[in-house]
Amino acid sequence: MTEATEHIDQKLFEILETVSDPEIPVLSIMEMGVVRSAKIINGIVEVQITPTYSGCPAMDVIGDDIKLAFKQKGYEAKIELILSPAWTTDWITPKGRAALEKYGIASPLSESADKEALLGNKKVVKCPQCGSFNTKLVSQFGSTACKAFFQCEDCLEPFDYFKCLK
């Protein structure tokens, strides 16, 4: 597994941590693992970010939000979108996974368990509301490209499951 981020200077890290994913506001972009590097070069902060999904409309917003966050702290920032190595859900930090669950989104399972879950073969996705595994797949695609849609058969609540991407 490739590390999500290169070492980032504490001062820049703190600013980046204030930027959240526009579609999942409880998750900072650092927890999401989309920031590859951030360095100050000739007085300008150069930030490399990697898209979660190719067509993710949040990426343009994230780029603008990063620039704004740095501007408020007196820095000029430049964003570079890089595709390789491709983002994987393994880069979501443990803190990020906990934040997802608390927000009501089931966090990604391992690759093999994910496959069983999305084929509707096994009940392995845990309901983020009541903790039951008695859940069923409603739709392989959910409200955004990164999620699938499930329903809990115990508490009956519908919920999103963040698909494993590897």
Partner 1 sequence: MNNNLIQYIYGIADNSLILGQRLGELCGHGPSLETDIAMTNISLDLFGQVRSYFQYAAKLIGGDATEDTIAFLRKEREYKNVLLVEQPNQDFAYSIARQFLFDVYHLLVLEELQNSKDETLSAIAKKSIKEVSYHTRFSSDWIRRLGDGTEESHNRIQTAINDLWIFTDELFHQTDADKAMVTEGIGVDVTLLKSNYFKKVNEILEEATLQIPTIEYFQKGGKQGIHSEHMGYLLAQMQYMQLAYPNMNW
Partner from partner 1, Zn ion, none binding residue 37, C-beta < 5-8 Å depending on class: none
Does 139 interact with partner 1 (rule: CB under 8 A)?
yes
Partner from Zn ion, partner 1, none binding residue 155, C-beta < 5-8 Å depending on class: Zn ion
* Buried b / exposed e along 5-27 (16+ C-beta atoms within 10 A): beebeeebeebbeebbbebbeeb
Residue 145 CB, shortest distance to partner 1, in Å, is 5
Residue 86 CB, shortest distance to partner 1, in Å, is 4
Give the CA distances from residue 152 to residues 49, 108, 137, in Å, rounded to whole numbers and listed in that order: 35, 16, 9
Strand positions, DSSP E, the chain: 20-21, 24-28, 35-41, 44-49, 76-81, 105-106, 135-139, 147-152, 158-162
Cα 32 to Cα 82: distance, rounded to the nearest angstrom: 16
Does 140 interact with partner 1 (rule: CB under 8 A)?
yes
CA 112 to chain CA centroid, Å, is 20
Does 61 interact with partner 1 (rule: CB under 8 A)?
no
Residue 81 CB, shortest distance to partner 1, in Å, is 9
Residue among 11, 13, 20, 91 at smallest CA distance from 62: 20
x/- map, 124-163, Zn ion, by CB under 5 A:
---x-xx-x-------------------x-xx--------
Among positions 53, 75, 123, 155, the unique one binding partner 1 when judged by CB under 8 A: 53
Could you tell me whether strands 44-49 and 76-81 are parallel, antiparallel, or unpaired per DSSP bridges? parallel
Residues in the chain: 166
Binding segment for partner 1 (CB under 8 A), chosen from 15-23, 27-35, 140-148, 151-159, is 140-148
Which residues are near partner 1 by CB under 8 A?
51, 53-57, 82-86, 118-119, 138-145, 149, 163, 165-166
Which residues are near Zn ion by CB under 5 A?
127, 129-130, 132, 152, 154-155
